Amino acid sequence: MKKTSIHFLEVKSTSEIHNFRKKKFDYCREDLQYLNEQFVEDSITSRRQKIEEQCKKYTGRKLQKNAKPIREGVVVIDEKTTMDDLKLVAENLQKELGIKVFQIFIHRDEGHYDENDNWKTNQHAHLVAEWIDDQSKKMLKLNPIQMSQMQDICAATLGMQRGAKSSRKHLSSIEYKIKVNKEALELAEQKSNFNLLLLSGQVERKRREFEELKRKHLKLVNDSRVESLILKRDIFIQDIEGYMKFFSYKQNLTLNENIMVLFKQISEKYHWSYEDTFKWLYYPEFYNKICDIMDKSQNLGLNK
């Protein structure tokens, strides 16, 4: 048997927007909205105005600004719960505790998709109620025993199991969504560890394929362009220490930026293509050689 519970909080300004589905919500399915039901005796604005008028009439004072005369309760239901069942809950709440419900909404279009992409419905109902004592015309004040009695009334009327007594705070629709998404994220994270292993294998294969293509490219000795580039590269490496004597190492630039400046100067001096010369940096052994020479020249004070 499914467990049920009911929890009341101050009604929000967006209550009727949510309950009447006046806007789209990403946790609601439009194709299931036809399953929703509603019972409305009064609007929230109209009911609050009546409460303020009664308060002024019977107490001689205005309703306090921090008063919460209208509250909204969320009830956990199941697929068999009807509107008549909930009207009976409302009737019993008024009879036993003085809570006057004037709006009831059944929502069967909310929920989430689980890790297998199966829809899980969050079946519940909203009860919007006037929280004013009939005798004193003041705010209702329910003690812990009465709050517990509220749970008993709900479970007995709906023919469902009462939720366990707890001091845990009830989850709002947004908090429920966060909780569900957090659980889904944790599950996805567990799966991602395995997926990352698969992905890393794919990346490694692509890297090896690239290295093989690069190796084949360097073997094209019949290509005069490639031969020319290799020759220029060898000349550059052999004479780089000599070039460094005429190169001014700029302290405000990084090592890589200094190397790029050097490459540009040498390319201009020998009328080489700067783009082709710069490509040599793609080869680790060449790049490391340049870095060593650049560092050595700087330490020896050869730079101007």
Q: Which tens digits make up the pLDDT trace of 104-140? A: 999 999 998 888 889 999 999 999 999 999 888 889 9
Instruction: Report the distance separating Cα 14 and Cα 12, nearest Å.
Output: 5
Residue 186 vs residue 63, higher pLDDT: 63
Nearest CA-CA partner of 21 in 12, 29, 11, 9: 29
Retrieve residue 278's tokens: 């710069």
Say which DSSP state 280 is in. Answer: G
pLDDT at 83 over 60: yes
Q: What is the pLDDT of residue 47?
A: 95
Q: What is the pLDDT of residue 222?
A: 44
Contacts 24+ apart (CB under 8 A), 246-252: 247/297, 247/303, 247/304, 248/303, 248/304, 249/294, 249/297, 249/298, 249/303, 249/304
Contacts of 277 (CB under 8 A, 6+ apart): 232, 236, 263, 266, 267
- The pTM score is 0.56
Nearest CA-CA partner of 222 in 230, 234, 214, 213: 230
Q: What is the pLDDT of residue 208?
A: 67
Q: How many CB atoms lie within 10 A of CB 22?
A: 9
**3-class secondary-structure state, position 109:** coil
Q: How many CB atoms lie within 10 A of CB 224?
A: 9
Residue 289 vs residue 129, higher pLDDT: 129
